[in-house]
Amino acid sequence: MPKKTGTSGTRGTAKVRNPKSEIRNSPLVGVIMGSKSDWETMRHADEMLTEFGVAHECHVMSAHRTPQLASEFSANAASRGIEVIIAAAGGAAHLAGVVAAHTILPVLGVPMKSDALNGMDSLLATVQMPAGIPVGTLAIGKPGAINAALFAVAILANSRPELRTKLAEFRKRQEEIVRAATVP
């Protein structure tokens, strides 16, 4: 059963994930997605941010179904203390680009795997931003969701030594798992 995601990003009633975060109590990362149907993929970003103890929030909002909400959320994110936005969408996936147009915060785009074109449409719509308004685009689907969270952690770690240490430990654990792996 997917966890509940709110849509009230600009109204101060959103649930803060990881409220006991040792990094900070108010959201540092805003994770938004075009549809509730994206949550099954984007919960992996939520889980990774939680693993790193980064306070964040998750919302459903759409560039085409709720354009005003998406614009307000992006325009207000920096003043609310958010430092990175992760935006996921599928199909004609313009959410990350629209968000990036309204903020100078770093925006990471995650293309969702679509039924019609297996996510190629989402990938191209997210990655092919004309020069001037960048969207840092990750891989299609679950790997992109996980890496968007890790990328956000890396950005935040520039000014937070405790996060830098956690990221280095994460890499070390990953390396140890691969080194210890055997095949039948």
Which residues would be at the binding site for ligand RP5 (CB under 6 A)? Answer: 33-35, 37-38, 62, 89-91, 112
**Nearest distance from C-beta of residue 171 to ligand RP5, angstroms:** 30
Residue nearer to ligand RP5 on the CB measure, 9 or 90 = 90
**Nearest distance from C-beta of residue 181 to ligand RP5, angstroms:** 34
**Nearest distance from C-beta of residue 29 to ligand RP5, angstroms:** 18
Structure letter (DSSP) for residue 11: T
Structural contact between residues 145 and 88, judged by C-beta atoms closer than 8 angstroms: yes
Residue in the structure block whose two tokens are 């599928």? 90
Residue nearer to ligand RP5 on the CB measure, 119 or 136 = 119
Residue nearer to ligand RP5 on the CB measure, 100 or 112 = 112
Q: Where are the beta strands (DSSP E) in 115-176?
A: 136-137
In 3D, which of 123, 174, 157, 135 has the Cα closest to residue 52? Answer: 157
**Which residues are 89's β-sheet partners?**
111
Amino acid found at 102 = H
Q: What is the distance of C-alpha 104 from the center of its chain?
A: 16
**Nearest distance from C-beta of residue 33 to ligand RP5, angstroms:** 6
